[in-house]
Every structure is written in structure tokens, then in C-alpha cells.
Amino acid sequence: MKHTVQRGAALLLAMLTVALVATLAAASLWQQWRAVEVETAERARVQSTWVLTGALDWGRLILREDVRAGGTDHLAEPWAVPLQESRLSTFLAADKDSTVDNADSAPDAFLSGQITDLQSRMNVTNLVESGQLSQSWLQDFKRLFELLGLPQQELLTMAENLRLATTATGISTDSPIPLLPQRFEQLVWLGLSPATVHALQPFVTVLPVRTTVNLNTASAEVIVSVIPDLDMAEAQKLVASRARNYLRTIDDATRQLNLQPGQISAGDHSVASSYFEVLGRLRLDRTVIMERSMVKRDGLNVSTVWRERTAADTAQ
């Protein structure tokens, strides 16, 4: 009986030892796996950072070189042609001098990009001038809201909140919002509903200063909104004609539309732009990383106003 108890105790001790060793081994394996995952994620982050920075530099270079080509901006220029998705995996190999071919083991990476003229849209900042509402721009926005079937009351609320928030010296103490919007989606701060913001996205932007609308790149909806007494058929006619022969001056638009003097003015309309959005999209395996940047072009100098990066999992 005594020997049986000893054998049982020895067997139990052996089982506990095996369980302890297995637990330690599993913990060690998990730590190793976790370290590999962290290193992989960090490498992907670094790779995406320099690739998307390269996409931004690509956009800035094109916009800088565009200045040398002339003083107008239109949709037939190189900057307006999107960069189609291109595979970059071979450029992301860990060590090009290694005797081992790493290209096949590197994750699939695809880059695409696009430059958008932000002055093809109506600038919300134009609604306020010297602390007061600009009645001419308020009428322009009213025409756009009516065209899109959006609530006029939301426009009035947005304009008034913007007026209260903006003064000649900065933020008013009476402002109903803590910060002025810097990006389009932040217009909800001024009282617009998410549905209205979504509907306005192709036609409206938020720029740091008052700007003109570029008639070479604006949509028909924007053109009919910013030129009084113009109907949609005439705006669409201008869009079609500029595709064949872009506008070199705003007088070209006046002649093509047979408008009266003053309907198009240099203070509100132009054929060139200074603000653009550069979009870079990087696809790594099943993950998509996107970076939006606003850039300002002043002659040959193209500076970045802001950059914003988002990530989305493409797995279904």
C-alpha cells in the first residue's frame, strides 16, 4: 500500500512537472509570436509612412512643374490625371543585396493617388468677410442648397455660427463652437447634419482663407451656383466647351456664356488655383491606408497645410 501511494505521488509530481513545462513553453511561444507580430506591424507602418510621403512628394512635384507650363489650371493637365494602382512589392524587399530573394516573401503593396483642385468647390470661408456675412456668397450657397434640395435653415445656421466664430482677430468669446473647422467633415460643428455634409462633399470645401472658384475645374452645379442668373443648361455647355478648349481668362467664360459685365468677377472667379488635395492610397495585403493632404501652391513653392491618415480593413 505504501509503495502504491509513493508511485501515485511520483506520477502526480511528474504530471505537474509536464504541465508546468508545457505552460512555460506555451508562454514563451506566445511571447515570440507577439514579438514577431509587433515587428511586422512596425515594419508595415514604417513602409507605409515613407511610401505615402513619396506620394505626397509626387503630388507636390507635379503641381510645382505645372506652374512652369502656364498660369491656368484645367482638367487636361498632368496633375488632373489620377495615378492608377501600381504594385510596389518588389521595391519593399527587405534587403536588395541579400543572396535570398525577398521580393516573393514581401507583402503585396499597391499605391494609387489623385490630386483634386479644391478651388473647384465653393469655399465656406467665403461666407464671412471682416466679421460680417457676405451677402453675395450667401446667395451663392442658397442656390447650391436649393439645387441639391437641402434645408435652407441649415445653411443659415452654419453661416451665423461661422460669423460668430470668426472675427478680425480670431475666435470670438461668444462663439457657439470651440474651434473653427479645418476640414470639410468638421462642418457638422457649425450645425450641418451628417446627411447634408455628405451631399455637399463634391461641391463644398473649407480653406484657410477666402478664395475664388476656378471655372476651368468647377462642376456644373458649382458654376450655376456662383454665377447669378445662369441656368444649368448653360453651365453644362461651359463644362463641355472647356473640355475642348480650356478657359485662359475669365473673360473667355463671359464671352462663351454671353453674360453681362459683372456677372463674372475676378474677386469671385478665376481660371487658376492655389489649393489642392493630394490623396495617397496604399494597399498592403488586406489593409488599406489612406492619406489626405491639403497643399498650397505659391509660385514654385508648394507647402503642406495639413495631413490626415486613416486605415481601413478590406477583409469581408
Helical H runs in the chain?
Answer: 2-69, 135-148, 152-165, 194-200, 220-226, 232-244, 250-257
Same domain, 258 and 179: yes
Same domain, 38 and 150: no
Same domain, 283 and 166: no
Domain region containing 164: 124-203+223-267
State the Cα–Cα distance between residues 8 and 5, nearest whole angstrom.
5
Would you state the cell numbers that stand for residue 57, as one nine-digit string? 512628394
Same domain, 147 and 247: yes
State yes or no: pLDDT of 277 exceeds 90.
yes
Nearest to 120 by CA among 240, 201, 65: 201
Per DSSP, 107 falls in state P
Please state, in angstroms and as integers, the Cα–Cα distance from residue 197 to each residue in 69, 96, 205, 305, following that order: 36, 47, 10, 22
Same domain, 63 and 138: no
Domain count, the chain: 2
Q: Please tell me the least confidently modeled range out of 133-142, 198-207, 303-312.
A: 303-312
Same domain, 257 and 159: yes
Domain assignment present for residue 209? The answer is no
Same domain, 111 and 131: no
Same domain, 108 and 137: no
Beta-carbon contacts of residue 294 (< 8 Å; ≥ 6 apart):
118, 275, 276, 277, 278, 304, 305, 306
Same domain, 78 and 106: yes
Across 233-261, average pLDDT: 92
pTM: 0.79
Domain assignment present for residue 218? The answer is no
Across 24-48, average pLDDT: 67
Same domain, 112 and 243: no
Nearest to 200 by CA among 149, 263, 153: 149
Domain assignment present for residue 214? The answer is no
| Dihedral Cα 248, 300, 203, 251, nearest 10 deg | -20
